[in-house]
Structure 1
Amino acid sequence: MGWTVLALVFLDEVLAVVALGYAWGLLAAVVGVAVWGIFASPKAPLGNAVTRPVAKVVVFGAASAGLWLAGHEVLAVALLVFSVVVNALALLPGVRALAVGATG
């Protein structure tokens, strides 16, 4: 189950970047990737117990808000719910151990 959760987390991140680009434009997608890489990724140079969740809320929130404002309310809610669920599952001890082991 752990690897499936990690795959879904990755899919969630890709969906968020696509949603940012669709709703806000290419620059927003690039900024989202940069924020993720600097603050939220497993090897983020500025990632810690505070910046990591804040960056995730900003990226997923902006992606969902953009979809909502673009008139795709159902997709916005679906992305937000999916993001919360898979990121909560990723916090389970067995999944976290896999993630730490995979990133070295």
Structure 2
Amino acid sequence: MFQFTLDPCALLLRQAVTPFIQAEAYNGEIYVSPTVVTLIAEASGSVVLVLRMKPCTFNSFTCTKNLSLGLDLRILYHNLLRAKTHAFLRLSGDETSRHIDFGLLDTSQYIPSH
């Protein structure tokens, strides 16, 4: 199981994902372990982006087991379109359900965990 929350970044992340949507690079994978999160985006079978983030990158981070899941960047993008400028993005998932849950939290509703 994993769950992590990115600082208010929905607008910036949406801007970062837009070129991949425009280039029809919809396929991705997310690898989560207790020590690193890796996002890989692919287009036509070629890797176009590899982004590695350490747990300290996130506002909150929990990972109990290594996990690899496919990611449709269109779904991420459509979730980001609904976000307010300063929304937190929460992603979570587990091996049993084999899917990723996206949550958007308005900064006025978010209470950081420390």
TM-score, normalised on structure 1? 0.30
Q: Which has the larger strand fraction? A: 2
TM-score, normalised on structure 2? 0.28
